[in-house]
């Protein structure tokens, strides 16, 4: 009996010192809309994308909307063809301006309120997103997140962007692996738990399932069915900040 009490106390102590993480998807969860799609429209308006590439991207967007299989790294290449061969600092500055002009106004007030509440309770806030890293980095620099994992594009030795993804796009099951890599690196393996995850799309079922408390945010029909079946929380967010 004494040994059991000691073990229980040790486990409780370990739980108390465990870093508690809240993960937020970016597109469709924290912001209203999809930042890569908004970026494509912006690039098209500035004649920075070939019409053929735009047609392929629109086709991808339709497949995404109707839950049909698609290859994420190919569409990332098509979007980033607008920046291929350009200096990293120039492109990052362009995407930073794009974020503050087009994306920041789309932040949902409910997302900001939830982030602030969880941070006040001691949670570490991590963004996870398939969108391009310079875009999500702006929200990180504004203090909305503590860490972020997002899709990184490969660069050349002389500091120019290619249209190739570095590693894998941060989507689907890769979100689970990316969060684990980051959390293990920052906090040590076994020293953290994924307490909350907020996401909106059926492709996020894997990362939602890995959280103690999954929250489906204004979910699509497939995710809503999954959330209902599994007893997950479902919330409706829609007000821009």
Rounded Cα distance, 126 and 181, in Å:
12
pLDDT, residue 67, reads: 52
Query: What is the structure's pLDDT at 71?
Result: 55
Tell me if residue 160 falls in helix, strand or coil: strand
Pairwise CA distance, residues 13 & 217, whole Å: 33
Enumerate long-range contacts of 57-60, CB under 8 Å, 24 or more apart. Answer: none
Span 96-150, pLDDT tens digits: 999 999 999 999 999 999 999 999 999 999 999 999 999 999 999 999 999 999 9
> Packing angle between helix 88-98 and helix 35-45, nearest 10 degrees?
110
Q: What are phi and psi of 215, to 5 degrees?
A: -130, 115
pLDDT for the residue 37: 87
CA angle 59, 60, 63 (to 5 degrees): 90
Residue 12: the pLDDT is 39
Residue 169 and residue 65: Cα distance in Å, rounded?
18
- pLDDT-derived band at 10 (thresholds 50, 70, 90) equals very low
pTM over 0.85: yes
Give the position of tokens 């912006």.
Answer: 42
**Cα 163 to Cα 81: distance, rounded to the nearest angstrom:** 5
- Work out the mean pLDDT of the chain and round it to a whole number: 89
Residue 192 pLDDT greater than 80, yes or no: yes
Q: Is pLDDT of 87 > 60?
A: yes
Quick one: average pLDDT of 168-195? 97
The residue that leads in pLDDT, 190 or 54, is 190
The helix-helix angle for 72-80 and 51-65 (nearest 10°) equals: 150
Tokens of 236: 């409706």
Mean predicted confidence (pLDDT) in 179-194: 98
Q: What is the mean pLDDT of residues 84-93?
A: 98
Alpha-carbon distances of 213 from 22, 122, 123, 200, 209, rounded to whole Å:
9, 16, 13, 14, 9
Give the mean pLDDT of 179-190. 98
Domain ranges of the chain: 17-235
5 confidence band (pLDDT: 50, 70, 90):
very low
pLDDT band at residue 200 under the 50/70/90 scheme: very high
Q: What is the pLDDT of residue 131?
A: 94
Among candidate residues 192, 231, 217, the one with its CA nearest the CA of residue 108: 217
Q: What's the average model confidence in pLDDT over 167-191?
A: 96
Q: pLDDT-based confidence at 4, cuts 50/70/90?
A: very low
* Banded model confidence at residue 77, pLDDT cuts 50, 70, 90: confident
Q: What is the pLDDT of residue 52?
A: 76
Percent of the chain with pLDDT over 70: 85
Q: What is the CATH number of domain 17-235?
A: 3.40.50.1000
């Amino acid at each position: 009996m004494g040994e059991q009490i000691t073990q229980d106390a040790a486990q409780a102590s370990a739980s108390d010192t465990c870093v508690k993480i809240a993960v937020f998807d970016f597109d469709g969860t924290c912001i209203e809309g999809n930042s890569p799609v908004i970026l494509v429209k912006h690039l098209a308006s500035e004649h920075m994308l070939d019409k053929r590439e735009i047609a392929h991207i629109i086709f991808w967007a339709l497949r995404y909307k109707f839950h049909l299989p698609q290859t994420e790294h190919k569409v990332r290449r098509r979007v980033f063809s607008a920046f291929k061969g350009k200096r990293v600092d120039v492109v990052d500055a362009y995407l930073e301006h794009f974020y503050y002009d087009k994306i920041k106004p789309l932040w949902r007030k409910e997302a900001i309120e939830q982030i602030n509440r969880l941070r006040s309770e001691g949670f570490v806030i991590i963004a996870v997103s398939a969108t391009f890293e310079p875009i999500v980095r702006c929200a990180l620099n504004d203090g909305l997140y503590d860490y972020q994992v997002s899709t990184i594009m490969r660069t050349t030795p002389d500091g120019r962007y290619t249209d190739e993804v570095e590693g894998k796009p941060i989507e689907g099951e890769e979100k689970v692996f990316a969060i684990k890599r980051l959390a293990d690196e920052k906090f040590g393996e076994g020293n953290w738990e994924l307490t909350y995850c907020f996401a909106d799309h059926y492709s996020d079922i894997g990362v939602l399932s890995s959280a103690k408390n999954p929250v489906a945010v204004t979910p699509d029909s497939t995710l809503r069915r999954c959330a209902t079946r599994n007893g997950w929380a479902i919330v409706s967010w829609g007000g821009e900040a």
